[in-house]
Structure 1
Amino acid sequence: MTSRSLFATRLYEGQLADDTLLADLDRSCRALSEEDLAGRAWSKQHGYRGYTSYASLDDLPYRDPAFGNLVRLLNKHVAAFAKDCAFDLGGRKLKLDSLWVNVLKPKGTHSGHIHPHSVVSGTIYVTVPEGAGGLKLEDPRLPLMMAAPTPLADAPEDAQRFVYVAPAAGTVLLWESWLRHEVPAGNAREDRISISFNYR
């Protein structure tokens, strides 16, 4: 008898490995959360506990050299992930489509969602206080499982319906943009700072 795993869903985990850049990004993200009045207003209007530049700023790599330096590093991570996924890109490279800051207050969450019209999405974690919410990934086959039994609690990770990742400062996570994910509430006492992005 043989058993094969089919239709793999890949999750890339890398490290930024640049403490100076992380410190610069932390300062820049905190400054934006104070200065970007449109982003603060959007966050309040949409019930986002904290600040996001998602709907207010689309020029971060040009606005601040720290974000420009980050994008150059992210391009390498995304190229490695695209190769691991065996994407046929016809000799082209995936390009950054959008990048935004998230300063999530304690107990803040981000409900389950996908990133339409993108190929690869991800997050770089800038500041992750103890107890901060991580990333929850959902098996994309879940709506089709009808009568499938729940996996055992100690089932291997690739047999689970949900996978939880607890990143640290400097962690780079990448996934295909159709993969549903969310940020559950944590119990940290300080802000969790991350930068999310899409490539197409």
Structure 2
Amino acid sequence: MPAFVTEIYKAELAGTSADSLVTRLDRSCRRIAVEDQEGRQWSKLNGHLGYTSFNSLPDLADADEVFAELKTTLDYQAALYADRTQLELGGRKLRVKRLWINLLEPNGAQSSHLHTHSVLSGTLYTSVPEASGKLRFEDPRLGVMMHAPPRLPSARLYRQTFIPVIPQRGTLLLWESWLRQEETTHMGTGPRVSIGFNLDIET
């Protein structure tokens, strides 16, 4: 019997009624990446090969109303995830509390990390060049496996220690914020554009 299941929520927005939203978000992300000099400077000083708005723009909805539209979409998707994973929210709802732009240039990557002070986290990819990297999730039990042998390369995906997801334009991923993940190296050409976000229980 499966035990201690960790669920990663995946939806493809390209080709759906949300396709135009993905296009508008991508356009806005690229514009902001050019205009946000503070964010570009922070990214350069901190070794981020590309651009992130994480430390410069606390509320992207102030920069472009298209992000307010995205928040509504994400709140709905988070409700589906919470229902699927049977989270006890005490009658309250999950709401987006933070959005940020990530523009990753070729040869860029992001090391393994988790998202603190939030319940759910996720990413929406708006532009994905070929070979621009994977989002790789880590088994949360890894630190206590001690003498456990590795899994066979042919083991089923859910039994693997690391699970890679190859995104495409419009891929939306949601996971519980304690789950560690990393972005593998961008080996393609042109920037990969995505929007990261955290959700918390409304107060």
Q: TM-score range by the shorter chain?
A: over 0.9
Q: Do structure 1's residue 87 and structure 2's residue 84 form an aligned pair?
A: no
Distance 1:33 1:62 in 2: 15
Show the counterpart of 1:178: 178
Inter-partner Cα distance in structure 2 for 1:132 and 1:36: 23
Structure 1 unaligned blocks of 5 or more: none
Partner of 1:148: 148
Cα deviation for residue 59 of structure 1 reads: 1.6
Aligned counterpart, 2:188: 188
Which residues of 2 match residues 27-66 of structure 1 at below 5 A?
27-66=27-66
- Mapped contact 2:95–2:199 kept (Cα < 8 A): yes
* Matched letter for residue 161 of structure 1: T
The residue that corresponds to 1:8 in the other structure is 5
Distance across 1 between alignment mates of 2:146 and 2:21: 47
Q: Which residue of 2 aligns with 1:137?
A: 137
Greater displacement, 22-31 / 116-125: 22-31
Partners of 2:191 and 2:86 lie apart in 1 by 37
Per-residue deviation, 1:23: 1.6
After TM superposition, give the deviation of residue 177 of structure 1 in Å: 0.1
TM-score by length of 2: 0.95
Q: How far off is 1:137 after superposition?
A: 0.2
Q: Which runs of 4+ in 1 moved over 3 A?
A: none
Structure 2 unaligned runs (5+)?
A: none
Residue 117 (str. 1) matches residue 114 (str. 2): no
CA RMSD of aligned residues (A): 0.9
Alpha-carbon distance in 2 for matches of 1:91, 1:71? 20
Q: Percent identity?
A: 47
Q: Secondary structure at the match of 1:95?
A: strand
Please give the TM-score of this superposition, normalised by the length of structure 1: 0.96
How many residues of Structure 1 are paired with residues of Structure 2 in the alignment? 197
Structure 1 CA distance for aligned equivalents of residues 146 and 137 of structure 2? 19
Q: Which deviates more, 155-164 or 65-74? A: 65-74
> 2:28 is matched by which residue type in structure 1?
S
Q: Matches of 2:96 and 2:76 in 1, distance apart?
A: 12
User: Is contact 2:105–2:186 with CA below 8 Å preserved after alignment?
Assistant: no
Partner of 2:101: 101
Contact 2:104 2:186 in 1 (8 A): no
